[in-house]
Structure 1
Amino acid sequence: MTSPFTKCLWLLLLPLLLAGTAIAQKLPSISSKTEGMKRYPGYFTFYYDEDTGKIWLEIDKLNKEFLYVNSLPAGLGSNDIGLDRGQLGDNKVVYFSKQGPKVMLVQPNLAYRATSDNPNERRAVEDSFAQSIIWGFKAEAADGNKILVDATDFLLRDAHDVTGSIKRSKQGSYRLDASRSALYLPRTKNFPQNSEFEAMLTFTGGEDAGRYVREVAPDVQALTLRQHHSFIQLPDNNYTPRPADPRAGYFGISYLDYATPVGEDIEKRFIARHRLQKKDPKAKVSEAVEPIVYYVDNGAPEPIRTALVEGGRWWNQAFEAAGYKDAFRVEVLPDSADPMDVRYNVIQWVHRSTRGWSYGASVTDPRTGEIIKGHVSLGSLRVRQDYMIAEGLLAPYENGKSVDPKMMDMALARIRQLSAHELGHTLGIMHNYAANNNASVMDYPHPQVKLDRTGKIDLSNAYGTSIGAWDKVAVAYGYQDFPKGTNEQKALDEILAKGRADGLLFISDRDARSPGGAHPTAHLWDNGANATTELLNVLRIREKALENFSENNIKPGTAMSTLEDVLVPIYNYHRYQTEAVAKLIGGVNYTYAVRGDKQLVTEVVDKREQQKALDAMLKTISPEVLTLPEHIITNIPPRAPGLRSSRELFEKRTGLTFDPLAAAEASADFTLSFLLHPERASRLVELGARGNSLSLQDVVKQLIENTWKGRHQEGLQEIVQLQTEQLVLTHLQALAHNESASYQARAVATAALKDLKGFIESKQRSIKQDAYQAHLALAMERLSRPFSEEVKPSRPLDLPPGSPIGSGEVMGCE
């Protein structure tokens, strides 16, 4: 029986409950809510309210997955901070889910899956790992299954994490200012398969703005950039993922599949690639069902634009080799097209305040690895750096002579290669650093320069002019369309086996980028079949260029102090080949072998090859190589007024005047940092104990014999030599106290320091020359100094930045 109190309570609450139900059931219609607004029909129809500056999104696809991508169509212009025009953000599979009056934008967790027909098995995995709610909207109007939400705040947020990027680079603390942010209608568009939204966002603060921000911002207290949001229809289910193979050189996706039978690998790996199918898979040569088309930024000037098109088109050679006809094209972007539109694969021309990396990224389906949109960003200052390298090599501005076109030819050749390289990343292909001598455009190329029969510098073959043999193997693996009934795994293995039989090797980033790396052929910016032979060749070219270096290296009427700009890449011309040679010392050759493919697994570099490499390395720190000629030193005055000093120049210890000793110090330190790297030192201990390798004792002994115990020079070469000896002491001390090195490596360095101390003591008794005595006294003081957290070995000067040539992974970058 209901009590009188309960009846009264129900009477009081009933009107409120009925009112709430009425409100929930009587959301206004979408047409009435959007009356007077501009309608944008398309994938997700939306409306723009001019009076409030709001965008209203019509959601008609509840619980249906689509792809959400944010990007940066208008950037900051600083390579160091990295917020570049055209930069892509994460690719997220998401869906809208209605929960009462709220509509959630949900990102499922695709890293953990169950590819099973059993819904309970799939649910068990889904419920075991967290999902992410990216945003919550309030339903404001409805028509049947269609819901209208206010998307303005979602679009005006810092989705690309601009504030975080600036803070992580220690360039200031900024916050989004809503009063100075608005939707950007010129780039807000709708299409049948994608909806595109753009916002103009202003970030304020800047009280602690760093140098990089100050270099590019008109007002450091207000940084205005644009962020783009793309809602993209996911591809159909007709794409077949291709299994990843560590020998094939592809980026890709991976996930744990808990429906995998016990005894099989739970981690599934598939390569990233565009969808490409032959019209007739049985035909040796066939047109594609739908070709891959890339578009070059129409904002790139000529003749650069044409070079970008030509370089990108190289890839058609690889697709032709795989049996496709006209399946890959590169065109110029039409004026009517938007480069952020997912329907266009683009090669974008990006400007920054300094030279910097170019990179190739993509919009990829995280479910399968299918590439939906390739997006290349090329730094515009790269071409100018290559042109300056050519100026340094040729000294072309002799009075009365016309400017040599070979400089522009070399710069444009590099742009073609760079276009092909970065486009290769957007095809899914990794770097291949074991593919110099033009075996792959996915290597980093140093200009291939030679001396002709008359001893003049020849730039005619500085860069490659086509796709490489490895690139054809990679495209065949990723894009070959096999006839029905083919054993695909066997066919893919045969493609890789043929590449190996042709002498092609794939070694990528991790193995090549480490300064303590061991692979004898995996290097950045190197040339030559033999690294040591090429280093000696590079040193000869450098010597010739320095011999010819004069005011003819800069244009008439140019400030003489700018000679230093041109000198830097020439003086350091051998830096990358030096790094390559270092990897032969304590080197171990290896492949990404799999069981049964009969590849080399590991092999220590022959001791004789290591010795040749060490001899060449020691040459790079000889006084003859390190000391600049007098005719160069006397021609470089302090920086002229109005010309900024920058990190592109040599560091100095002499104030405003040019410092040839600082240049020599940085170069010698560069060589020693590789030679006595703790990983290399530890490996030399191990390999030396196993035989047929140099030992760490061998390396340290020869290093000291060629510096401290070598024949002493006179004049400036003597001071350079003494400076190098102090650097040797610095690196031995650092190794002796480096806890990341093995105990025995530290022991060898400690014993060498003890022996060196005895040698110095004997020299102090026998040699009275003032400069040398002072040098010995400093060394003794440093050797006697206790090593502690407060007293560290001296910090040598750094080389000016050299990488990237022609301008510091994004899918891939150069």
Structure 2
Amino acid sequence: MKKAQPLFLILAFLCATFVSAQFSEKKKNFKKYEGFFDFYYDEGNDKIFLEVKDLEKEFLYVSSLSSGIGSNDIGLDRGQLGNERVVFFRKAGNKLLLVQPNLKFRALTDNELERKSVEQAFAKSILFGFPITEQKNGVYVIDITNFLMQDTHGVSARLQRSDQGNYSLDKAKSAIALDRTKAFPKNIEFDVTMTFKGTPKGSYVRSVVPTPGLITVAQHYSFIELPDNGFKKRAFDPRSGAYPFSYYDYATPVEESLVKRFIPRHRLEKKNPDQEVSEAVEPIVYYLDNGTPEPVRSALLDGGRWWNQAFEAIGFKNAFQVKMLPDDADPLDIRYNVIQWVHRSTRGWSYGASVADPRTGEIIKGHVSLGSLRIRQDFLIAQALMNKPFAERDDNYKPMLDLALARIRQLSAHEIGHTLGFAHNFAASTNNRASVMDYPHPQFSLKNGEIDYSNAYDTGIGEWDKVTVAYAYSVFPEGTDERKALNKILEDATAKGLRYISDQDARPMGGAHAYAHLWDNGKSISDELKSMLDIRKTAISNFSIDNIKTNEPNSVLEDVFAPLYFFHRYQTEAATKVVGGLDYNYTVKGDGQLTVAPVDKKSQEQALKAILLTLDAEEIAIPKEKLSLFPPRAIGYGRTRESLKGKTGVAFDALSAPETAADMTLGLLLHPERASRLIQQKALDPNNIGLSEVLQEVVSNTFDKKHKDPYKNEVQQNINFRVLFHIMNLAASDKVHPQVNAIANQYLQKLSLSVAQEAIKDPIKGEIARRINNFYKHPETFKVVPSPKIPDGSPIGMDCFH
């Protein structure tokens, strides 16, 4: 006798059957898309229904931003990629769950129970639960609209983090964007217009959004077929210039490392692997955004194509190509590697990102975002440096444009390099510009008293770039010991004198590597700083009203002058890293490279001597005869974050600019970490310079320096106060060795004694005495008095994301 079923189960079954029948009837009126997944669009209710045929089958899910906010500070750009995730659908009761397995922890073994033990040991993530709308012949239909209508990209969180206000998704003002919702055999693409409602708080959002309380962007989702298992992983080596891709393999024998490190790279195979030179089975093709204007378009195409030189060097024929994106293609379509032209309200970082298979590191899509305003900054620098470019006519812009386009070619190659799997190489500038993966500063020289621009930027791929391509993409003959072959590539590079040092060792604040810097030039850092100061002096001497066009206000001239005045800033950063600096490599056992050593005394002394020029009013005071060029700002041409800052209200402040420049130098030279390294350096080698010698030279070349010109003397006084504040900072810091505190205090006491006798008669010396006296009353509350902020120099923002 059959047992009666509970009434609620019968009702649930009947309800599901009714809903299924309803959907089967209604879907005849829906727009159907056939592809990797088939799906339907219900226009009447603005809903997407997805057909799922294969449960437990993994695929790739990628979220991104197809339409952005336009502020580099907020960081939500058009074309910005989000995370890629391996996911699968799993049935649980009356719903399908979208499951993300934990690929960070694995057990690569044939033992199924061992694999399962690791899988169960670490959490997975269920990204969403979908009630089943229809189930028929093993095919499930689910409504994914709510999944698409969520803030996956973290727009509201980013707005909150950047202090722009609290926002939340307003679904009533959001909708599926059909023009970018498409289906293809190996991928499907969804696009959603999303509006975030909130109370605006910050200036960034107010500057770019027409109604700041309502921010509308577009979010993009891709479901992608995973690559087959034919991709071969390649071992990561810290010397290779490639990024690491890693996971933990718990099936590893105890005597070996759990962490497995490989490099991300595109799949590239030879059609004829036995031939020395062969075409690729499938070349790597990048497509340039067809919204890029000329002449930028041609420059980006040229620079991107430089990479083919490196692939030819390892036996590939025409394996790397750059073409124009078809007019009907979507830049976020996973089938295209894209170079995208991105607009923002301020100039900002460009970056190269990628979509890679999280299982293997295989790069599926490279995606470059190039900030459209970067070229204008390079044009501005050229405009400032050139001698009276608009003296005779206003259309004499070609020399400046040529210089800016030369930079854009290099930038195209640089960002593509990141999407090929390569990290920065900030030591390349000391190797005759050996890599496009460095940050290049324009390299000028003086010839017969005139600035020569002919060698400003490099014109092709570098020798180091050929090494990174060889390591990542070489195809070796069958039977080759790959580890030995890869080692030989790197050992040959070392034998040629090529160096590789990346981000964490190149940053200026407290950085220690003496030969890896951002935006620097030259094998001799100190000689190049002196050269840059000479070029700066020449350009400032030539600077005139003819550096702007007819009918432009002098306020524009001040904006042109700002990057010229701080032209030496990055080479100064580089020079300070030599003082108390180290020379080291990413060595591995047996490679024969230098592991680590302090910089020799002579090089440190030469660097210090060059740095001290940037604290000399003779060098950094704006010439008096140039000050008449800079009246108070004209209406409609107010100061911006890229203008010179001051303390004189509407008047141009000739004293604050040198104060800001000096503060930049001192913040680097007298950084607490550098001061502690100088203590250690002197202890290990008494013949090398230490903190006491550095402070002695700084004081001697500032406080002890007198100028006959009262204007320059006032400039020097401002510089001297910056020296005082930074010595106080070392004296009070709890982030240094006590010996640093002791030596800094010793120099403060010397200064106090030296001014004590004249403090009553000399108000400046009296102020120095007063500040030192106040410092010792409450040293624990001391903070460096801020100088006027230095204008933005690098692209606006803090980080370069790759």
Instruction: Report deviation, 1:675.
Output: 0.7
For 1:343-364, what per-residue CA distance to the aligned partner results, in whole angstroms no more than 9, with x for missing partners?
Answer: 0000000000000100000001
Distance 1:529 1:304 in 2: 31
Match of 2:794 in 1: 803
Relative to the length of structure 1, the TM-score reads 0.96
Counterpart of 2:41? 48
The alpha carbon displacement at 1:792 in A equals: 3.1
**Structure 2 residue aligned with 1:88:** 81
Note the C-alpha offset of 1:22. 4.9
- Segment of structure 1 superposing worse, 22-31 or 443-452: 22-31
Partner residue in 2 for 1:608: 602
Task: Report deviation, 1:798.
Answer: 2.1
Q: Give the conservation status (yes or no) of the 8 Å contact 2:614–2:665.
A: yes
Whichever residue aligns with residue 551 of structure 2, its letter is: G
Q: In structure 2, do the counterparts of structure 1 residues 504 and 694 end up closer, same or farther at CA, with 3 Å as the change threshold? A: same
Q: TM-score scaled to structure 2, two decimals? A: 0.97
Deviation of 1:156 (Å):
1.2
SS, match of residue 323 in structure 2: strand
Partner of 1:364: 356
Structure 1 counterpart SS, 2:759:
helix
CA distance in 2 between counterparts of 1:397 and 1:658 reads 24
2:472 to 459, 473, 478: 478
Partner of 1:242: 234
Contact 2:508–2:574 under 8 Å retained in 1: no
Cα deviation code 1:112-142 (max 9, x no counterpart): 1111111100111111111111111100101
Aligned match for 1:149, one of 139, 142, 148: 142
Among all aligned residue pairs of Structure 1 and Structure 2, give the percentage whose two residues are the same amino acid: 52
Q: Which residue of the partner structure matches residue 718 of structure 1?
A: 713
Change (3 A) 1:478 1:213: same
Cross-structure match for 2:699: 704
Counterpart selection for 2:261 from 262, 269, 283: 269
Among 778, 786, 794, which residue is 2:767 paired with? Answer: 778
Indicate if the aligned counterparts of 1:531 and 1:577 stay in contact, CA closer than 8 A: yes
* Correspondence 1:306 to 2:303: no
Match of 2:166 in 1: 173
Q: In the alignment, is the contact (CA less than 8 A) between 1:360 and 1:810 conserved in 2? A: no
- 1:727 aligns to 2:718 (yes or no): no
Moved more, 468-477 or 625-634: 625-634
1:571 aligns to what?
565
Letter of the 2:298 partner, please give it.
T
Counterpart residue number, 2:523: 529
Alpha-carbon RMSD: 1.7
Residue by residue over 1:163-191, the C-alpha shift from the partner in whole angstroms, topping out at 9 and shown as x without a partner, is 01111011111111111000000000000
Q: Which residue of 2 aligns with 1:382?
A: 374
**Bigger CA drift: 259-268 or 510-519?**
510-519
Pair 1:505 & 2:505 matched: no
**Is 1:794 paired with 2:788?**
no
Contact 1:356 1:808 in 2 (8 A): no
**Deviations, residues 193-240 of structure 1 (Å, cap 9, x unaligned):** 00100000011113x431111110111011100000001111000000
The AA in structure 1 aligned to 2:56 is: N
Correspondences of 1:487-498 after superposition (within 5 Å): 487-498=481-492
Q: Secondary structure at the match of 2:629?
A: coil
Change (3 A) 1:227 1:401: closer
Secondary structure in 1 matching 2:308: helix
Question: How far, CA to CA, are the matches of 2:750 and 2:340 in structure 1?
Answer: 58
Q: Alignment partner for residue 591 of structure 1, among 585, 590, 608?
A: 585
Q: Does 1:78 align with 2:71?
A: yes
Q: Identify which range, 750-759 or 537-546, moves more after superposition.
A: 750-759
The corresponding residue for 2:273 is 281
Q: Return the letter of the residue paired with 1:239.
A: F
Aligned match of 1:737: 732
Q: Structure 2: how far apart are the matches of 1:517 and 1:423?
A: 27
Give the partner amino acid of 2:773. S
User: Closer, same or farther in 2 for the Cα pair 1:33/1:809, shift >3 Å?
Assistant: farther
What do residues 435-487 of structure 1 show as CA deviations (whole Å, max 9, x unaligned)? 013200000000011112x2111112211100000000000000001111110
Partner of 2:454: 460
Aligned-partner residue type, residue 787 of structure 2: P
Q: Mark the CA change 1:134 to 1:400 in structure 2 (over 3 Å): closer, same or farther.
A: closer
Q: Is contact 2:91-2:97 (8 Å) kept? A: yes
For the structure 1 residues 543 and 16, does the alpha-carbon distance in structure 2 shift closer, same or farther, using more than 3 Å as the test?
closer
Following superposition, the deviation at residue 34 of structure 1 comes to 1.5
1: CA distance between counterparts of 2:424 and 2:58?
Answer: 32
- Answer yes or no: is the 8 Å Cα contact 2:759–2:769 preserved in 1: no
1:623 Cα deviation after fit: 0.6
- Structure 2 residue corresponding to 1:757, chosen from 740, 744, 752: 752
Query: 1:362 aligns to what SS in structure 2?
Result: strand
Q: Answer whether contact 1:406 1:459 (CA < 8 A) is retained.
A: no
The count of aligned residue pairs is 795
Mapped partners of 2:691, 2:220: distance in 1: 54
Runs of 4+ in structure 1 displaced over 6 angstroms?
Answer: none
Of 532, 553, 560, which residue of structure 1 is paired with 2:547? 553
Instruction: Show CA shifts across 1:242-263 (max 9, x none).
Output: 1100000111311111000001
Contact preservation (8 Å) 1:362, 1:811 = no
C-alpha contact 1:27 1:142 (8 A) present in aligned 2: no
Residues 298, 332 of structure 1: 8 Å contact kept? yes
CA spacing shift, 1:791–1:270, aligned 2, 3 Å: closer
Corresponding residue SS for 1:72: strand
Q: How far is the alpha carbon of 1:599 from its aligned partner?
A: 0.5
Q: Write the distance in 2 (CA, Å) between the matches of 1:763 and 1:254.
A: 65
Q: Aligned partners of 1:186, 1:68: CA distance in 2, in Å?
A: 20
Partner residue, 2:674: 680
- Cα 1:64–1:550 shift into 2, 3 Å: same
Deviation of 1:649 (Å): 0.4
Per-residue deviation at 1:404?
5.0
Q: 2:425 aligns with which of 398, 409, 432?
A: 432
Match of 2:286 among 255, 273, 294: 294
8 Å CA contact 1:586–1:693 kept in 2: the answer is no
State the alpha-carbon separation in 2 of the partners of residues 509 and 86 from structure 1: 25
- Decide whether the 8 Å contact of 1:56 with 1:151 is kept in 2: yes
Question: Which structure 2 segments of 5+ residues have no match?
Answer: none
What is the one-letter code of the residue matched to 2:374?
Answer: R
In 1: Cα distance, 2:138 partner to 2:573 partner: 63
Report the AA paired with residue 717 of structure 1.
Answer: K
**Counterpart residue type for residue 702 of structure 2:** T
Q: Tell me the SS of whatever aligns to 2:217.
A: strand
In 1, distance between residues paired with 2:280 and 2:151? 40
Corresponding residue SS for 1:687 = helix
* Whole-angstrom distance in 1 between the partners of 2:535 and 2:640: 26
For residues 655 and 563 of structure 1, the distance between their equivalents in structure 2, rounded to whole angstroms, comes to 18
Give the deviation of 1:514 after TM superposition.
4.1
Following TM superposition, by how much is the alpha carbon of 1:568 offset from its aligned partner in structure 2, in angstroms? 0.7
- SS of residue paired to 1:660: coil
Matched with 1:693 is 688
The C-alpha deviation readout for 1:294-333, integer Å capped at 9, x for no partner, is 0001101001001110000000000000110010000011
Structure 1 gaps, min length 5: none
SS in 2 for 1:505: coil
SS in 2 for 1:486: coil
Cα separation, 1, equivalents of 2:54 and 2:632: 67
Residue 441, structure 1, aligned to residue 430, structure 2: no
Given that residues 308 and 415 in structure 1 are in contact (C-alpha distance below 8 angstroms), is that contact kept between their aligned partners in structure 2? yes
| Alignment CA distance shift 1:14-1:352 (3 Å) | closer
Range with bigger deviation, 89-98 or 369-378? 89-98
- The question of whether the paired residues in 2 share the 8 Å contact of 1:604 and 1:693 is answered with no
Kept in 1: contact 2:394–2:549 (CA 8 A): no
Q: Say if 1:293 and 1:328, in contact at 8 Å, map to a contact too.
A: yes
Partners in 2 of 1:22 and 1:808 — Cα distance?
A: 59
Q: Is the 8 A contact 1:363 1:372 kept in 2?
A: yes
2:625 paired residue among 610, 625, 631 = 631
